[in-house]
């Protein structure tokens, strides 16, 4: 199964910012116990590459997305660490071209019509929609899907247990991402059981 199919099937992507790579495997196991074999580990923290490396080694079943990738150097870091897919919050043609030249899967971010057109220009048809809630959420995705009806969206930013279904009910949305089950606070306080509980709750709500 290719990575888009997997993302489509799993539907919920926990978006993680790890300060300490030593927490990475415990966190990954907490997510797996909650029913999610996927994580977006963001390069917002310096621990991202080491975290990806550790999870890949201990939990090879996980689909590992490297998130907030802002430079080509971070693309290299992410891939060398074992990341499966690159995701960015915005559309950077240089990063997209770099990933394509290396045959690395990339899902760039968009928030406007012009950015979607840049994606189309680069033959990208699955995009992250960020920051989803702040940019008008479901209403904006519906409006953008009028002219750009072949584009599939992966919204993140302000998504939680309460509103995730509103997004997933749209046929043009393949998955939602969010940090609500993996907040910095929960990770910092090593509340891995709570992370599993929140993950299970999110997965159950898909039924
Ligand atoms: C992301 O990087 O995709 C988002 O910051 C996640 O947004 P959230 O913290 O509002 O869920």
pLDDT tens track, the chain, 207 positions: 799 999 999 999 999 999 999 999 999 999 999 999 999 999 999 999 999 999 999 999 999 999 999 999 999 999 999 999 999 999 999 999 999 999 999 999 999 999 999 999 999 999 999 999 999 999 999 999 999 999 999 999 999 999 999 999 999 999 999 999 999 999 999 999 999 999 999 999 998
- Please identify, by atom number, the ligand 1 atom nearest to the C-alpha of residue 183: 9
The token duo for 80 is 């060398």
Q: Atom 3 (ligand 1): residue with closest C-alpha?
A: 156
Report d(CA 28, CA 34) in Å as an integer: 10
- 112: DSSP letter: S
Whether 198 is in the pocket of ligand 1, judged by its Cβ within 6 Å, is no
Strand partners, 12: 176
Q: How far is the CA of 1 from the centre of ligand 1 (A)?
A: 26
Give the pLDDT confidence score for residue 161 in this predicted structure: 97
Q: Which residues contact 14 (CB under 8 A, 6 or more apart)?
A: 31, 36, 38, 39, 40, 177, 178, 179, 181, 182, 199
Give the pLDDT confidence score for residue 98 in this predicted structure: 98
Rounded to whole angstroms, the maximal C-alpha distance in the chain is 46
Distances (CA, A) of 177 to 123, 155, 205: 23, 6, 15
Whether 109 is in the pocket of ligand 1, judged by its Cβ within 6 Å, is no
Give the pLDDT confidence score for residue 1 in this predicted structure: 72
- 155: DSSP letter: E
Q: State the CATH class of domain 3-107+158-201.
A: alpha beta
CB 59 within 8 A of CB 77: no
Whether 177 is in the pocket of ligand 1, judged by its Cβ within 6 Å, is yes
Residue ranges of domains in the chain? 3-107+158-201
Q: What is the 3-state secondary structure (H, E, C) of 15-47?
A: EECCCCHHHHHHHHHHHHHHCCCEEEEECCCCC
The phi-psi region of residue 67 (left if phi > 0; otherwise alpha if psi is between -120 and 50; otherwise beta) is beta
The token duo for 20 is 């300490």
Whether 83 is in the pocket of ligand 1, judged by its Cβ within 6 Å, is no
Specify the pTM. 0.96
CB 49 within 8 A of CB 24: no
- Please identify, by atom number, the ligand 1 atom nearest to the C-alpha of residue 178: 11
Q: How far is the CA of 158 from the centre of ligand 1 (A)?
A: 6
């Amino acid at each position: 199964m290719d990575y888009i199919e997997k993302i489509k099937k799993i539907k919920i992507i926990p978006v993680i910012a790890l300060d300490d790579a030593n927490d990475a495997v415990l966190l990954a196991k907490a997510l797996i116990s909650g029913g999610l074999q996927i994580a977006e580990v963001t390069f917002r923290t310096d621990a991202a590459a080491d975290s990806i490396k550790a999870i890949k080694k201990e939990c090879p079943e996980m689909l590992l997305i490297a998130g907030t990738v802002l430079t080509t150097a971070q693309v290299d870091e992410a891939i060398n660490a074992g990341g499966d897919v690159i995701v960015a919050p915005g559309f950077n043609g240089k990063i997209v071209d770099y990933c394509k030249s290396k045959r690395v899967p990339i899902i760039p971010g968009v928030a406007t019509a012009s950015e979607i057109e840049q994606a189309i220009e680069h033959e990208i048809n699955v995009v992250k929609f960020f920051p989803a809630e702040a940019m008008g959420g479901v209403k904006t995705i519906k409006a953008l899907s009028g002219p750009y009806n072949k584009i599939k969206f992966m919204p993140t930013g302000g998504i939680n247990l309460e509103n995730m279904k509103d997004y997933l009910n749209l046929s043009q949305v393949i998955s939602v991402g969010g940090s609500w089950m993996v907040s910095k606070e929960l990770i910092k306080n090593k509340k891995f059981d709570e992370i599993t509980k929140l993950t299970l709750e999110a997965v159950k709500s898909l039924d």
